[in-house]
Chain A
Amino acid sequence: MLKKGDLVLTAVLLAVALGASAAIGVYRNISSGLGKTAVIKHGSQVIKRVDLNKVESPQRLEISKEYKQVVLIEEGRIRFEESECPDKICVKTGWLSQMGQTAVCAPNRTMIVIEGEPEEIDGVTY
């Protein structure tokens, strides 16, 4: 009797725990999926904010500041595609798709940031 009761109780608890764990996991995925906002800035000024999960077709955004640049925005990712700046570090940075990632053009004082805390590391020294 006791044995059976124990097993039932354990099974129920385990089911509840796994269910809760899965639910939280799903919720987390949904919430992180919902909030993938890329911000394009010049100096301290925001040029454009875009939810990368709601990009239906690729967009090109031209920036004409000190140097001309083109930002390419696709579903789930964004990058500096072209730049007339001298070092092209911004273009070489490539695609950004995860929270906390940034691409910077120091000569043009522009940057792209995907908002949110980075998941793997807090920062990179270079």
Chain B
Amino acid sequence: MTKKVTLRSGLLLLVCIIAVAGAGCRAGGSNTNAYETHDFAMGTSITQRIYGGNAQQAAREVIDEIKRIEDEMTINKPGGEINKLNNSAGKAEIELSEETIYVLEKAKHFSSLSGGAFDVTIGPLVKAWDILGDNPRVPGDEELESLLRLVDYRDIDINREAGTASLKRPGQIADLGGIAKGYAGDRTVEIYKKHGIKSAFVNLGGNVVALGRKPDGSLWKIGIQDPRSSTGDYVCVIEIEDKAVVTSGDYQRFFEKDGKRYHHIIDPKTGYPANSGLISTTIVSDLSIDADALSTATFVMGLEKGLELIESLEGVDAVFITDDKKVYATENIKKVLTFSGENRGYEYVEER
């Protein structure tokens, strides 16, 4: 009898200890020291959250680095390496930095891998539409047809050993807009590591890269935005560590003309904004540059071909949302995905 009661008391005591410890943990969670900054670069907002290490200096270095990459890789303002290449299209081979060669090679690789659904030579079409620029317009069919002939990633010749590259024909334009932000994400993580930082998170206008885990040992929780709602609502949450997450969608950047909406992801085959039935494609991978190119590629390819491509790649996962509000995910990501879109009319298709 006595023994029984002592046992029960012991159990209750344990409950009490857990209750106190639990309360303590919750209170402690908000006290971990995060250094957070918000800046603008690459035409978007950049949020960094860094735990420990030399956070402030690392954050500043990251912004300087992102601005430098933007200067080298944008075709929206003069100067920079990529413009050098484009200005010599059809004329000469150009010496480029190791970095630009690396990004160009990646871009060409994913152009080829996606059968041209992502095409790094899409520049002439992007310029004609100017969807992200000051004077967006709908180009005529004839104009598009002639520009389409300039789009062919096989016309980029890259010689890594010599550090040179060239575009075959005059008028061709390499556009790293679909991959440079991804590259910047990878560089950001390298800078964090250099400063001895083990836990950090960066969001480059929707391109997320997470380094390590959170200081309390938990995984980073990343929401995938509801493509048919205002910013901030999400359809599902995925939990990650040491991964890049990039989403392409038709809803963030677009312009409207005569009541019709034209989004910014141009299909290199048609010359028009992609219309594959997908409205949001999210790629999760080790490298942000890969995720960036693949999110665009699969957005253009559509559900079936997109899933097929992602499933053929090691260590790459995806979450796709179709225009009839169905959410699909690859096997590995299903394990860390929490669906929460049912209230907003989404359906999670777990078995295809």
User: Which residues of chain B from 186 to 210 have a CB within 8 Å of any chain A CB?
Assistant: 201, 203, 205-208, 210
Pick the contact of B19 from A17, A41, A113 — CB < 8 Å? A17
User: Which residues of chain A from 1 to 30 have a CB within 8 Å of any chain B CB?
Assistant: 2-3, 6-7, 9-10, 13-14, 16-18, 20-21, 24-25, 27-28
Query: What are 5 A-B pairs at a CB distance below 8 A?
Result: A14-B16, A93-B231, A115-B36, A121-B222, A125-B246
Question: Are the C-beta atoms of B6 and A21 separated by less than 8 Å?
Answer: no
Q: Which residues of the other chain, B, contact A33 by a CB distance below 8 angstroms?
A: none
Contact string against A for B residues 38-82, beta-carbon threshold 8 Å, 1 for contact and 0 otherwise:
111001110101000000000000000000000000000000000
Question: Are the C-beta atoms of A125 and B245 separated by less than 8 Å?
Answer: yes
Question: Are the C-beta atoms of A126 and B247 separated by less than 8 Å?
Answer: yes
B23, B32, B245, B251 pick with most chain A CB within 10 angstroms: B23
A63 within 8 A of B: no
A102, A109, A126 pick with most chain B CB within 10 angstroms: A126
Task: Looking at the assembled complex, report how far the CB atom of B86 sits from the nearest CB atom of chain A, in whole angstroms.
Answer: 24
For chain B, the count of residues having a C-beta within 8 Å of the partner chain is: 59
Q: Which residues of the other chain, B, contact A104 by a CB distance below 8 angstroms?
A: 44-45, 231
Question: Are the C-beta atoms of A13 and B12 separated by less than 8 Å?
Answer: yes
Contacts beyond the supplied A24-B26, A125-B224: 6 A-B pairs with Cβ under 8 Å? A28-B26, A31-B30, A89-B252, A102-B47, A121-B234, A125-B203
Contact string against A for B residues 16-27, beta-carbon threshold 8 Å, 1 for contact and 0 otherwise:
110110111011
Contact string against B for A residues 84-116, beta-carbon threshold 8 Å, 1 for contact and 0 otherwise:
001101001110000001111010010101011
Which residues in B have some Cβ–Cβ distance to A below 8 Å?
A: 1-2, 5-6, 8-9, 12-13, 15-17, 19-20, 22-24, 26-27, 30, 32, 34, 36, 38-40, 43-45, 47, 49, 201, 203, 205-208, 210, 214, 220-225, 230-232, 234, 237, 245-247, 249, 251-255, 282
Task: Looking at the assembled complex, report how far the CB atom of B39 sits from the nearest CB atom of chain A, in whole angstroms.
Answer: 6
Question: Are the C-beta atoms of A17 and B231 separated by less than 8 Å?
Answer: no
Q: Which residues of the other chain, A, contact B30 by a CB distance below 8 angstroms?
A: 28, 31-32, 116-117
Question: Are the C-beta atoms of B34 and A125 separated by less than 8 Å?
Answer: no
Q: Known contacts A3-B5, A21-B19, A28-B30; is A94 also within 8 Å of B208 by CB?
A: no
Pick the contact of A24 from B8, B27, B246, B251 — CB < 8 Å? B27
